[in-house]
Structure formats: C-alpha cells, structure tokens
C-alpha cells in the first residue's frame, strides 16, 4: 500500500529526511521510533502533504501512485489520513459539522444528516464518548487526551486506507491510551495499513506492530519486529549510533 523510495526533504534549507526507504504492505501496522530530531514527524507530514517541507528527492507511492504530485486534499480523498501530534483548535465549528464536511469532501457527495449522525454515534460509543461530544467545538477547551481521542474519532469516521499517527500517545494517561489504542485496533484490517510514529514502547504494547523501524538522522537505520522496540525501550538509542544499516 505504501512504498517510500529514497525520500529526502528539507525545511527552510535544512535537510531533515536524507533518503528514507520504507514499505508498508496492505493490512500491516508499522511503528516508527527514534529520538527527537530524527525525522519521524517530518516523514509523517511529508507523506500527508505538509507544504512547509520541500521534497528534494525520492518517491512516495500509495497504491502504486506517486502522491508527491498530489495536493494534501487530494491525498486525503485518496485515503491518506494524518492524526496530528498537536491538533489545532477550531472555535465555533462543532465536531459533528466538521466531520460531516470532511466526510462529504472525502466521499465526493453529500451525506444525509440522519445517516451521518447514525455513523457518528456508533463511533462515539466505540471511543466511550457521550453524544454531547458532537456538539463541542473542535478541540476548544479539550484536554490533551481529549484532543487525541478526537483525532481517532476523525480517523474512524473518515475510514481511510492509510492511517498515519504522529505521536498520538504523547500526553495521554494510561486510561486514555487504552481507549485510543482500542479505537486503532478496531480499525485494523486487510484493506488498511497504519504507520505509527512514537517515542516510546508503551503505545506499541497496546497496538502490536507487524514491524518496527528506527530512525536516526533522517534515515531508517534498523528494522525488526516488536522486540526491537522493547530493546530500544530498555537500552535507548545509543547502541544504534555509529552507522548501523537497516
């Protein structure tokens, strides 16, 4: 589903990604770990189409199409979703209206209100959120954990093919982490792939990845299974420094 070849990107003239190669097959969940500044979040944003970054080399193939040639909204309509590390507040716009507009844009046709609210209520229930959530303004007055749950709610409602979670676990307590993880696990399936960016092992204890990749200095330097993530959790990244190849 996702194949990244030699991806290089910079921001304000500074190189961040320096040749990333990564393949995520259909139906698989892959974790991306690495220290601050390694390029994890940049990778997530470049795949989603953040215009702040300049792609200087490489390809990002999604279902065989190089999506680097597509605008961010075109990528979203094709089935790419990014859950932000720091979700923005949108005062005056309710969660329900925001999501209905997004669903209409992604599906390419108007969604009848009753049908949409039926879908929304089912997803709210899955995330243990009451119906009043739909009437709140998007992320306004939300705690950190509520913002992350709202990101997962958007993902569940939009039903994308490729889900990219950028440090969704940051700022979550244990209970919120479990609820968010249950929502993510609920969406796992043979026709959907996920790329989970995280600093820590704890999220991957709840969402067991099919593969785990370690980024250092803008490159993926090692890949393995969930045991690699546990080793990083125990020993840190120092044992990888010195040019270990993937």
* Tally of domains in the chain: 1
Considering the domain boundaries, does residue 99 fall inside one? yes
Considering the domain boundaries, does residue 185 fall inside one? yes
For the four alpha carbons of 52, 55, 60 and 66, in that order, the dihedral sign comes to positive
Residue 65: predicted pLDDT: 94
Note down the domain range covering 64.
2-240
Considering the domain boundaries, does residue 73 fall inside one? yes
Considering the domain boundaries, does residue 13 fall inside one? yes
> Which CATH number belongs to the domain containing residue 29 in this structure?
3.40.50.300
Phi first, then psi, for residue 191 (nearest 5°) are: -105, 10
Whether 188 contacts 160, CB under 8 Å: no
Considering the domain boundaries, does residue 245 fall inside one? no
Contacts 24+ apart (CB under 8 A), 117-121: 119/157, 120/96, 120/157
DSSP conformational letter for 200: S
Side-chain half-sphere of 103: how many Cα atoms within 13 Å? 22
Angle 75-205-210 from CA coordinates, rounded to 5°: 50
Residue 244: predicted pLDDT: 47
Considering the domain boundaries, does residue 246 fall inside one? no
Q: Could you read off the pLDDT tens digit of each residue along the chain, which spans 246 residues?
A: 999 999 999 999 999 999 999 999 999 999 999 988 899 999 999 999 999 999 999 999 999 999 999 999 999 999 999 998 888 999 999 999 999 999 999 988 888 889 899 999 999 998 889 999 999 999 999 988 889 889 999 999 999 999 999 988 877 888 888 888 988 898 999 999 999 998 878 888 899 999 999 999 999 999 999 898 888 888 888 777 654 444
Angle 155-63-53 from CA coordinates, rounded to 5°: 70
Angle 164-167-170 from CA coordinates, rounded to 5°: 150
């Amino acid at each position: 589903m996702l194949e990244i070849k030699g991806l290089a990107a910079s921001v304000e003239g500074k190189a961040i990604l320096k040749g990333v190669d990564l393949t995520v097959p259909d139906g698989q969940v892959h974790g991306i770990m690495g220290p601050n500044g390694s390029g994890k979040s940049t990778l997530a944003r470049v795949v989603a189409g953040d215009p702040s970054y300049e792609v200087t080399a490489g390809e990002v193939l999604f279902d065989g199409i190089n999506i680097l040639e597509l605008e961010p909204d075109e990528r979203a309509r094709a089935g790419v979703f990014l859950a932000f590390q720091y979700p923005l507040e949108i005062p005056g716009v309710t969660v329900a209206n925001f999501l209905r507009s997004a669903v209409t844009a992604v599906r390419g046709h108007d969604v009848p209100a009753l049908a949409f609210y039926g879908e929304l209520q089912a997803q709210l229930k899955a995330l243990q959120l009451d119906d009043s959530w739909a009437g709140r303004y998007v992320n306004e007055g939300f705690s950190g954990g509520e913002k992350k749950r709202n990101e997962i709610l958007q993902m569940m409602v939009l039903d994308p093919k490729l889900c990219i979670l950028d440090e969704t676990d940051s700022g979550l307590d244990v209970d919120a982490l479990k609820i968010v993880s249950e929502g993510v696990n609920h969406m796992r399936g043979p026709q959907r792939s996920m790329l989970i960016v995280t600093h820590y092992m704890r999220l991957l204890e709840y969402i067991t990845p099919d593969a785990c990749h370690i980024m250092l200095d803008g490159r993926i330097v090692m890949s393995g299974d969930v045991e690699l993530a546990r080793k990083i959790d125990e020993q840190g990244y120092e044992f990888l420094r010195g040019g270990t190849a993937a």
